[in-house]
Structures are given as C-alpha cells and as structure tokens.
Structure 1
Amino acid sequence: MFKLYKALVKSVLTYNCGTWAPTQSQEERLNAFHRKQLKKVLNIKYPVKITNSSLYNKCNERPLSIFILESRWRLFGHILRRDSQILANQAMSGYFVTEGSKFKGRPLTTLPVVLNRDLSRIINSNLQLKSSHDLEHLRSIAQQRDEWTKLTARIREAAEASQSEH
C-alpha cells in the first residue's frame, strides 16, 4: 500500500517541488496533508492517536517539507553547476542586481528568500544568500559535489532538528 501511495500520490504531489518557495504555513499544511494520507494508508481513524514521529517511523517516511527542502537544494546545486548563461542562472543573478524594494507591504516569499531561510537554520555557519557575492560563494561550493552534498545534509539535519522542536 505504501508503494502505491509513494508512486501515485506523493510523486504527483511533489512534482517539480524543487522550484517551490513555500511559506512556513504552506509547509505545515503540506505536512498535515501528508500525515493525513499516511493515516489513511494505515487505516488509523479518529479516536486512535499516534504521534507524528511514530507515524513517520511506522511508514518509513519523513515530513514532506524535508523532502521538498532536499529537492530544492538538489536542483539549486544542479543549476549552480551549469553554465552561467542558462536562464535559471541569469534569473538568480538578476534577482540580486535590483536595488531597493520593488513593492509595498510584506516582502514576497521568493526562492532566494526560502534558500536563505534554509541556510540560516545551520548553527555556527556564516553562509547566507542575500547578495550576488553570496551566490558566487555558493556557486563555488556547488562545483565540488561532495562539499555540496555535505552542505545539503547539514541543511536537512538542521531542518529536521527544528521540526522536532515543534
């Protein structure tokens, strides 16, 4: 049953998720939907209670937000290793060229904002993504696949630790 869920539901739900820039509340809603589906697969109904961690362990799954985070960083590393003339690299570089705020009100939740939020979760790290200089530094790290994999693992572990606190 889990194989069917992963093949038919999770794959469609997370299609192209590396390009998403979800807010914190959107991530929580996605995680809640994922848990609800896992409970349906296990046939766990209302009066029975199960903790989120035991549900994930029983199903050998993780929160959907962690899966999305890994996909986002895997895609970002792939883009950074590509030629700087591809559209995705030009868009990332162009994001940091513009000066000042573009709109009134609350800042938009863009992909660079979410990537910077992911980086800020790492304890004792000076990595950030707030300028073109930071982007070039991450680009140099991405050229070394093993270093990029280690960075992605540190980001995932920090995200898992922050989720277990909630």
Structure 2
Amino acid sequence: MGTYTITRRKLNAFHRKQLKKVLNIKYPVKITNSSLYNKCNERPLSIFILESRWRLFGHILRRNSQISANQAMGGYFVKEGSKFKGRPLTTLPVDLNRDLSRIINSNLQLKSSHDLEHLRSIAQQRDEWTKLTARIREAAEASQSEH
C-alpha cells in the first residue's frame, strides 16, 4: 500500500470522524461508511479533492499558454540532468497520471508534453472534459469501494 493510499484513507477517516461528531454518533453505536455519507448527503473527501483537482487542471489548460501554471506544467516534462536518488516526488503531474491510470479501457496518460497537449485539446471542449472528469471520479469511487 503506497503513501498516496494511506494518506487518502487517513483523510477520509478524519472526515468520517467529523461527520459522526456532527451527528452525535458515539462509540457503542455503529454506522457503515456508506450509511454515514448518505445520512449527511456527503461523499468521501478524497473524491471531492480529486474532482476539484481535475476541474482546476481543466481550467488551467483552457487558459493562455503564457500563464505561469501552463508554463510550469510544460516545463515539468523537460528532462534536464540525471535523476536524483531516493523516493520519487509526488507532484501534480504524478497525481494526475495516477488518476488517469485508474480509468479502465483508456489510453490516456500524462507522461510527456505530447500527452499534455492531448489533454489540453480535450479541455478545450468543456463537455468532453466534464465526461473525462466523471470517468475519473467513477473509477476512483470504484477503487475505494473495493478496499
């Protein structure tokens, strides 16, 4: 189990704890996670964060290519020098690629500037971007329900 999965689980557990406090549900009383989310009309916090990340990414991709955020994304894929030692850094492109890899039967990825340009072309069509974000959310929800 990776650091990303552990962090996501801790975040969701903290969120559920806060929801139980709001509903005044204490120790001997048990409630399933899905029942808790339904009762509060909520969903896991990690799913909300994932959707927000992809909405922001789409917004950035639709903006002018000269803004700092677009230049930083493009600069990420320019490889200079040798790799550093140690665990790979968790960066926004790494998280976005991890989200894309969850989609079944999809050849979408974010590993090069060519992939970034392909996603930029999808982002220009808002309805297509919304569909992509929904597919990513559904894949994330399915992977959470398996655990």
Give me the TM-score of the superposition, normalised by structure 2.
Answer: 0.94
Question: Alpha-carbon deviations, 1:69-105, whole Å to 9, x = none?
Answer: 0000000000000000000000000000124654211
CA RMSD of aligned residues (A): 2.7
TM-score, scaled to structure 1: 0.84
Cα separation, partners in 2 of 1:19 and 1:32, compared to 1, 3 Å: closer
Q: Does 1:76 align with 2:60?
A: no
The Cα shift of 1:57 comes to 0.8
Q: Secondary structure of 2:42's match?
A: coil
Comparing 69-78 and 100-109, the one that deviates more: 100-109
Whether the 8 Å contact between 1:19 and 1:111 is mirrored in structure 2 is no
Task: Output one character per residue of 1:117-137: Cα deviation in whole Å (capped at 9) or x when no partner.
Answer: 000000000000000000000
Deviation, structure 1 residue 38: 0.3
For residue 71 of structure 2, give the secondary structure of its aligned residue in structure 1. helix
In the alignment, the residues of structure 2 paired with residue 28 and residue 60 of structure 1 have an alpha-carbon distance, to the nearest angstrom, of 20
Measured at CA, do residues 101 and 63 of structure 1 come closer, stay the same or move farther in structure 2, by a change above 3 Å? farther
Note if contact 1:19-1:72 (Cα within 8 Å) is conserved in structure 2. Answer: no
Identity between Structure 1 and Structure 2 (%): 92
Aligned match for 2:94, one of 113, 135, 139: 113
Kindly tell me the number of residue pairs found equivalent between the two proteins.
146
1:19 — aligned with what? 3
Q: Distance in 1 between matches of 2:81 and 2:128?
A: 33
| Unmatched segments (≥5 aa) in structure 2 | none
Q: Choose 147-156 or 41-50, whichever is displaced more.
A: 41-50
Partner of 1:156: 137
Runs of 5+ unmatched residues, structure 1: 1-17
Structure 1 residue 50 displacement after superposition: 1.0
